[in-house]
Structure 1
């Protein structure tokens, strides 16, 4: 779980260092701007942007019941973030599995991607799709809405 927060913590630390330097050089406005920018970057790359993760087993069970896709993702992944942001509110309808928190989820992704942990991997009706277009994923939600 700690590695999910490494990048956001790095953003906060860098922002604090740059802001401190700006404040000591007599630019409090620039310091405040840097703190804000780095805090926003930390928030965007944190696990907080994504819906709450569940285990791969639970995601498979729920998907079998409601037919909704399962998204395997990891914090800090630019493509996962792109998918999440482009789906908007529709992202909450998917079942999200953080592969850094769930070894079974990571194994599922490796099995679908020739041993690589390539994310996002979206499983629809038992078939994995690697880094699919967000519009396509949104279309997969339409029948189950």
Structure 2
């Protein structure tokens, strides 16, 4: 799977359908007007592998990919905002 960095001002969020933390962060980002692309790691080939690579072998969601290519695991809305402003 090839994932390109998101457009400036947006993020890519790796999720699953059953993840409560994912649903919560999606609602918060939507309310805050933060654009995101969602990738379900159970439905997208190799997405789980990419998430595991950045999380010490664990398929932890939500994992958020920022425009600079860095990631955050289960970040708060505050952290997402700060990293987008940087």
- The alignment's TM-score, normalised by the length of structure 2, stands at 0.79
**Structure 1 residue 85 and structure 2 residue 32: aligned?**
no
Paired residue for 2:61, among 113, 119, 124? Answer: 119
Q: Is residue 2:66 matched to residue 1:137?
A: no
Q: Decide whether the 8 Å contact of 1:60 with 1:70 is kept in 2.
A: no
Unaligned runs of 5+ in 2: none
Which of 105, 108, 112 lines up with 2:47 in the alignment?
Answer: 105
Q: Which runs of 5+ in 1 are unaligned?
A: 1-55
Identify, as 1 or 2, the structure richer in helix.
1
Distance in 2 separating the partners of 1:123 and 1:141: 11
**Which structure has the higher relative contact order (CA within 8 Å, separation 6+)?**
2
Matched residue, 1:96 = 38
RMSD of the TM alignment (CA)?
A: 2.1
Q: Which runs of 4+ in 1 moved over 3 A?
A: 138-143
Aligned partners of 2:76, 2:85: CA distance in 1, in Å? 15
- Secondary structure of 2:14's aligned partner: strand
Pair 1:60-2:4 in alignment: yes
CA distance in 2 between partners of 1:78 and 1:109 (Å): 17
State TM-score, norm by structure 1.
0.50
State the distance in 1 between where 2:70 and 2:39 align: 16
| Displacement of 1:130 | 0.3
